[in-house]
A and B are shown apart, each in its own frame.
Chain A
Amino acid sequence: MSSSTVLSVKNLAIAYKVRGGEIEAVQNVSFELKEGESFGLVGESGCGKSTVAWSLVNFLGRNGYVKRGSIMFQGEELTGRSPEELRQMRGNRITMVFQDPMQALNPSMRLGDQLTEVLTVHQSMSEEAARKRTLEMLERVHMPDPASVMRRYPHQISGGQQQRVVIAMALLNNPALLIMDEPTTALDVTVEAAVLDLIAELRETFNTAILFISHNLGVVARVCNHVGVMYAGEMVEQATVREIFKNPRHPYTQGLIRCVPRLGADKASSMLYPIRGRVPPPNQRSSGCVFGPRCDYAQDRCVAERPALHTLSADYSSSSAPHSVACHFAEDIVFADWQPPADMELPVQKNGAFTSGQEPIILDVDALKKYYDVQGNSFLDLFGLGEKRQVKAVDGISFSVPRGMTLGIVGESGCGKSTLVKTIIGLESATAGQADFMGFDITKDLNDRDAELMEELQMVFQNPDSTMNPSYTVGQQIGRPLLRFGKIPKEQVRAEVVKLLHSVRLGENYYDRLPRQLSGGEKQRVGIARALATRPDLVLCDEPVSALDVSVQAAVLNLLLEVQQEYNSTLLFIAHDLSVVRFFSDYIAVMYLGEIVEIGPAAAIYAPPYHPYTEALLSAVPIPDPDAEQKHIRLSGSVPSAINPPSGCHFHTRCPRRHLLPDGGKICAEQEPPWQQVTEGHRIYCHIPVEQLAEFEPVITTAVATIHSLGG
């Protein structure tokens, strides 16, 4: 591999002019990027990762500018160049891929035109030559039927395909530097895996330097060879990817690794350790070490003096490549020796989490269906004459949950998991089937439910920004269900609310705060307190942590575990993140296109025998461990429409194991598969016999890292 340096950033500082002064969003950032290398920039939101990327393409908005430092690109200084010079460089030698491909493509231009203009403008290529080149490039990003894609508009192709188009666009001019800003964050896990494969493949064939920005350690571990960790606008640690994961030296990096669950880890055998506090806004950063206020090792020096990024000597680094850390005590802090501080909020583990079978069933759902009528897009539909069609969002689902247990539901977007929850809580009425909750029939919607039932069924929502009504104080919002159900006398409401605030680890001083004065994690805590106010028997959690930063996510998950024990609630936990679900749940149901394809105890789901879809999901999860060996199973195509789901087994159009059956799995398209009982409570919905499924290799061969084990 050639080692010419493509990009060299030194002491970069970026500032934004705002009313009454300016804010330095990014300070002291330095890194180098060589040809064919991919450098991952990780950190939580608000850490300045994207700002760095924008500065490289000189797109900082009207009020942002590079305040100090230098950006050398292929030996040329970029700062202080004229806008026209920079424009010619952009899109030609430096290109960029964004997070949301749907937003990034012009909705009213054909994809072909959007692609070819990159060539016609930068290389004065003829229209025809440009089209030919574009077609080739679309083939190289494995786009099915490139010629027809060229004629389409962005909304006519799927999200994964859109991202392929954006990547193809970025590669057309053979750029020296490709910047990718969270390119897979908006995608589903199986699609993400395929796009990451593509990126890894392109890195090798194009020899392009890639700057890869992500908040997800697992994704970075999969595609990068160098990693820089950013915190609060500063680069705090930099090393090769293996070194970062095996020998993290900065307390922040260590904290990040500790707070995400590994795939396969569960709550009985491991713990999540949140980082206290939250990322400070740029104008409230400490003058000493930016991480100081959240650091377990902080000492006086950390407050007084800001540490500079320094390279560790070979004694402390396990790799030959340089490893630099911005911490005064980097040499003294050993990752493995860390002990949780006494004041950290950690759930107390209950013993015997798997004493299932004795607990009474609290929720029993049988063949539940929820169909929606949809309006078509034809002129006939405009006048209500079109063919009536239905989305089969939930298409015959059966399961039961014992008291005090957690059922996790996983699946990609559009699989119907949210609809299922909405039907159970009563925001939608069921189309068919039975559902029984503690003797109540819950197939009807809220209008037909008793207050008694509503009290016992509450919900924690996904989006922290909309879970609370912006117009009322925390106290009013938690107190409202108490008043509404008349649980306690009016004059005691305040005391009860304070009690609830304490149980979600918030002080009484939060009582009069408005939602806009809270952070995302705090809002989520208030949402949990509100759901718990009536002491419900069943709490439905719809992706309660997916919108939170990882360090906060750990704290909220711990809190949920704890209140579950305190209140002895049963939980239905929805998430798209398999690691989180595995960690959090006792039982897991895997959903695909409105159906459950596999259900059983959490541990059983994550080892063979499993459903081919479960297997594919597991092999797609990005694992924050560069040494983990994961089986490479990718699904072809995208999730079919729920309006007209495939016949037989809904999964047969994409199933990678279908060929195991005679006639190439003809039966899968013709007949609905049988429910196969594996063990008590573990069922698989597949034509392939359990014996054969059991023979599959496990997806992940590397043992779950031991550093998390209890008492660690």
Chain B
Amino acid sequence: MAVAEQTTSVAAVGSTSAWRRYGQNALIILDSRVGTIGLAIVLFWFFLALLSMVWTPYPPNASQFEQNLWPNATNWLGTDHLGRDLLSRLMTGAQVILIKTRLPGGIAIPGGVAIWGVFGSLVLGVAMGLTAGYYGGWTDQIIMQILDALIAFPRIILYLVVIAALGQGDWVVIIAITVTGAPGVARLARSLALDIKNRDYVLAAQTRGESAFYIMFREILPNARGPLLVDAMLRIGYAIFAIATLGFLGIGLPPPDPDWGNMVNEARSYIFNNPYAVLWPSLAIATLVIGLNLFADGLNEETSRYQR
């Protein structure tokens, strides 16, 4: 009720540094139990991924053990059908999703495929959505028609088409995620722009003759970032889901790095001998997606409380 809302907001003290403000904003997630749990799960996987850059129990691609071992003292999570250590593969599998992207020519850049993919759809989607929402009229009609056309495609087909078109590769997956994600982001950004553009402060900016660019990116965007951020978190979850699915279909991230979806696919033929080889990567995908969802829920709860 009305009374409950006032308690958290007054405490914040004015500070000159915008960064400190963002820092404070970031900390509010800890007020939400759900959000904290989600954050913990996500950080756990980030940690494993980072750790695997410098250390894994065994080389992830070396077939140095007996095949299809169940969990034991040497191989904590068992081995797969080629005698590779599952824990090492699982840890390495998190890398490409979360913290590194392999570009053609053997270069790797920081930021995982899922993260770059979502970043791409954010940039593209926000630009289109803000433009459509702010200008309205014909601009809006045209952009929305194109987006509707894209949305009408089932995602999986877009993925298949993009991959059939460009072949396999980390950057192809990023493009696929960008293309499939952008329409959704654009719709959200558009609805936010439609809402915010009628706020008085935007009218005030218009009455002093600010450019459309300034209004879209300086007046509207900063106030839309909460919902967009929440949406982006959910989208990283979807992206991981999609990467796994593509991996399962054998058209996802290319070798040599292990891919969770592909691990499930390879192991399912041996499921009778060693269900763990299916279980671990499945759990990995599910927990990471759940973690991101919970984190997004918490973020949503807290930002909506904080904003008013």
Contacts and interface: CB of A to CB of B under 8 A. Distances in A.
Interface of A: 16, 18-20, 23, 25, 46, 51, 60-61, 63-64, 281-284, 425-427, 446, 449, 451, 454-455, 457-459, 461-463, 465-473, 477, 480-481, 484-485, 509, 512-514, 516-517, 527, 530-531, 534
B1 A517 contact: no
Contacts of A46: 2
Contact of A463 (B1, B200, B222): B200
A454 B208 contact: yes
B134 to A, nearest CB: 13
Contact of B222 (A471, A485, A516): A471
Contacts of A466: 199-201
B223 A469 contact: yes
B204 A530 contact: yes
Contacts of A282: 3, 6
B223 A281 contact: no
B7 interface: yes
B27 to A, nearest CB: 15
Interface string B29-62: 0010000000000000000000000000000000
Contact of B207 (A19, A446, A472): A446
A188 B261 CA distance: 62
A468 B201 contact: yes
A392 B205 CA distance: 27
B157 interface: no
Nearest to B206: A446
B195 to A, nearest CB: 10
B209 interface: yes
A491 to B, nearest CB: 17
B223 A427 contact: no
Contacts of A465: 308
Contacts of A455: 208
A18 B209 contact: no
B203 interface: yes
A427 B14 contact: no
Contact of B7 (A61, A283, A480, A517): A283
B1 A61 contact: yes
9 contacts: A23-B3, A446-B206, A454-B207, A459-B207, A466-B200, A469-B201, A469-B219, A514-B12, A516-B12
A516 B24 CA distance: 14
Given A459-B203, A512-B14, A23 B7 contact: yes
Nearest to B224: A471
Interface string B172-204: 000000000000000000000000000111011
Interface residues of B, number: 31
B12 A517 contact: yes
B15 interface: yes
B21 to A, nearest CB: 8
A66 to B, nearest CB: 14
Interface string B272-308: 0000000000000000000000000000000000011
Interface in B92-140: none
Contacts, number: 101
Among B9, B201, B222, B308, residue most surrounded by chain A Cβ atoms (within 10 Å) = B201
Q: 8 closest pairs, A vs B, by CB?
A: A461-B200, A471-B222, A466-B199, A469-B201, A467-B200, A513-B14, A466-B200, A512-B14
Contacts of B210: 484
B74 interface: no
Contacts of B4: 16, 18, 23, 63
B16 interface: yes
Contact of A454 (B21, B209, B307): B209
A481 B208 contact: yes
B223 to A, nearest CB: 6
A126 to B, nearest CB: 38
B152 interface: no
B208 A516 contact: no
A575 B270 CA distance: 77
Interface of B: 1-4, 6-10, 12, 14-16, 21, 31, 199-201, 203-210, 219, 222-223, 307-308
B208 A512 contact: no
A513 B12 CA distance: 10
Contacts of A516: 9, 12, 307
Contacts of B201: 466-469, 477
Contacts of A281: 6-7, 10
Nearest to A512: B14
A64 B1 contact: yes
Nearest to A282: B3
Contacts of B223: 469-471
B211 to A, nearest CB: 10
Given A18-B4, A64-B1, A470 B206 contact: no
B84 to A, nearest CB: 48
B307 to A, nearest CB: 7
A426 B210 CA distance: 13
Nearest to A24: B3
Contacts of B14: 473, 509, 512-514, 517
B133 to A, nearest CB: 17
A458 B207 contact: yes
A25 B2 CA distance: 10
A25 B6 CA distance: 12
A466 B201 CA distance: 6
Contacts of B207: 425-427, 446, 454, 457-459
A25 B16 contact: no
Interface centre among A20, A51, A462, A481 (most CB of B within 10 A): A481
Contacts of A512: 14-16
A530 to B, nearest CB: 7
A284 B11 CA distance: 12
A459 B204 contact: yes
Contact of A446 (B6, B10, B209, B222): B209
Contacts of B9: 516
Contacts of B206: 427, 446
A478 to B, nearest CB: 11
Q: Which of B2, B15, B21, B210 has most chain A Cβ within 10 Å?
A: B2
Nearest to B199: A466
A468 B4 CA distance: 24
Q: Which of B4, B8, B16, B205: most chain A CB closer than 10 A? A: B4
Contacts of A19: 7-8, 31
Given A20-B7, A459-B204, 14 more contacts: A16-B3, A23-B4, A25-B3, A283-B7, A284-B10, A427-B203, A451-B209, A461-B203, A467-B204, A470-B307, A477-B201, A509-B14, A512-B16, A514-B21
